[in-house]
Amino acid sequence: MSKRVLTTESGAPVADNQNSATAGVGGPILLQDQHLLEKLARFNRERIPERVVHARGSGAYGYFEVTDDVTGFTRADFLSSVGKRTDTFIRFSTVADSLGGSDAVRDPRGFALKFYTDEGNYDLVGNNTPVFFIKDPIKFPDFIHSQKRDPFTGKQEPNNVWDFWAHSPEATHQVTWLMGDRGIPASYRHMNGYGSHTYQWTNAQGEAFFVKYHFKTNQGVRSLSADQASELVGKDGNSHQTDLLQAIERGVNPSWTLHVQIMPAAEAADYRFNPFDVTKVWPHSDYPLQRVGRLVLDRNPDNVFAEVEQAAFSPNNFVPGIGPSPDKMLQGRLFAYADAQRYRVGINHTQLPVNAPRNATVDNYGRDGHMATRYGSRDDKNYEPNSHAGPAQTDAPLAAPLAVTGWTGAQGAAEHVKDDDFFQAGELYRLMSDDEKSRLIANIAGGLSQVTLEDVIEKNLAHFHAADTEYGKRVEEAVRALREN
């Protein structure tokens, strides 16, 4: 077998990869050592800008298989027949910490799934919780700033975390989720995934439905207590990455069953609360779960940087039969996610193998930019319309149009009869067992008792009292006890 030859980036053979070129033995290094300069310059540029949120992540390849007929609700081709399989890539992540953080921390988990469909890539970007902290994207930068490292102290500050929540009563539901038993998943395999937002499905007859996605783990939900998580972080900060990697390498392929809740579009306007409010769930008694298929992960990436860190997801990557809803947080993310990838990875990030469509042909008038690899022939034009048989529009919208009325301007969502920031948080609390409630109270009190701003403590306590009288009383007593010690 012939020995492979080490080369420079330009393909020239490298004579010595152990010693730099110098001016005599022991002399200074020469600027003309192209191989040395190229290696150091590439090393300096090996990392792209870290994600502002969801920086720390793990990924895997797999497939989605349809198990139930949903063609009455959507004309999406990858959901068109029972038994149909579509290749997928998923990225799990923590939200608040940096790339160097630990896996076993109390934080929501990203659940971002890319379907390589025959009609283009479909990205479903969600979390392991069915709700979120805020309902309007204009608050998102402020929310994340409050949860990230303080610009002066350089660390996460309880005052900042709870101060924002104190002034954002709509966060009470998600705070109850986060501080409860599911706030620290035992692994990525042992947590559910949710689309969180409301999306639109459109069938072949043009009928529109609003849907919510629920990926139920087939491994069973398992979580860690605060003490268990602290111990695990000390042993292996990469615990969730290790678990996912080793499970798939052993052939123990994790899987999830996808269910959806389906609301006929005509019912949205008069529903008792705003169905597009991401701080709320739809009760299953109103819209039961309907099974769609199963997601299976069966292959690890070969290169974490190329396939996990450069993986780019955006909720505006839809396919025919699926579209957005008036969910304001979703509307904001339709821009923000794609723009983040253009900043981080570049305008041509969609040409990278992990992001490029696998089962559909890309044919448009986008050209050039950093790292462009897709070029047309000499006769292809970069404008449209043209006289050269270039690609043309289909005149077939991906989803049904949404009717809009009213005046433009900054305004809240339309009010529904039962819109309320606290009721569902109380419902979640009342569903918990006594032991679950005790752990929830301890987790909240542990953080809130560290706050030094009295009005922030009082505002947060008022939120828990509004959710449930017992809930508020127990949090208040627990905070007081910790502060007196």
> Which one of 35, 121, 127, 259 is the catalytic residue?
127
Neighbours of 469 (CB within 10 A): 11
pTM for the whole structure:
0.93
Q: How many CB atoms lie within 10 A of CB 359?
A: 15
Q: What is the identity of the amino acid at 136?
A: D
Tokens (6 digits) for 137: 């994207």
Strand partners, 57: 93
Q: Which residues, in sequence order, are CB contacts of 153 under 8 Å at separation 6+?
A: none
The whole-angstrom separation of Cα 49 and Cα 53 is 12
Q: What pLDDT was estimated at residue 259?
A: 98
Query: Residue written as tokens 């605060």?
Result: 226
> In this structure, are residues 164 and 227 in contact, taking their beta carbons and an 8 Å threshold?
no
Annotation marks residue 382 as catalytic:
no
3-state secondary structure 57-69: EEEEEEEEEECCC
pLDDT at 479: 97
pLDDT in tens, the chain (485 residues): 778 988 888 888 889 988 999 999 988 998 998 888 888 888 888 889 999 999 999 999 999 999 999 999 999 999 999 999 999 999 999 999 889 899 999 999 999 999 999 999 999 999 999 999 999 999 999 999 999 999 999 999 999 999 999 999 999 999 999 999 999 999 999 999 999 999 999 999 999 999 999 999 999 999 999 999 999 999 999 999 999 999 999 999 999 999 999 999 999 999 999 999 999 999 999 999 999 999 999 999 999 999 999 999 999 999 999 999 999 999 999 999 999 999 999 999 999 999 999 999 888 888 888 888 877 777 888 888 888 888 888 888 888 988 888 887 888 888 898 899 999 999 999 999 999 999 999 999 999 999 999 999 999 999 999 999 999 999 999 999 999 88
* Catalytic residue (one of 54, 197, 214, 259): 54
N-term to C-term CA, the chain: 72
| Catalytic-residue membership of 159 | no
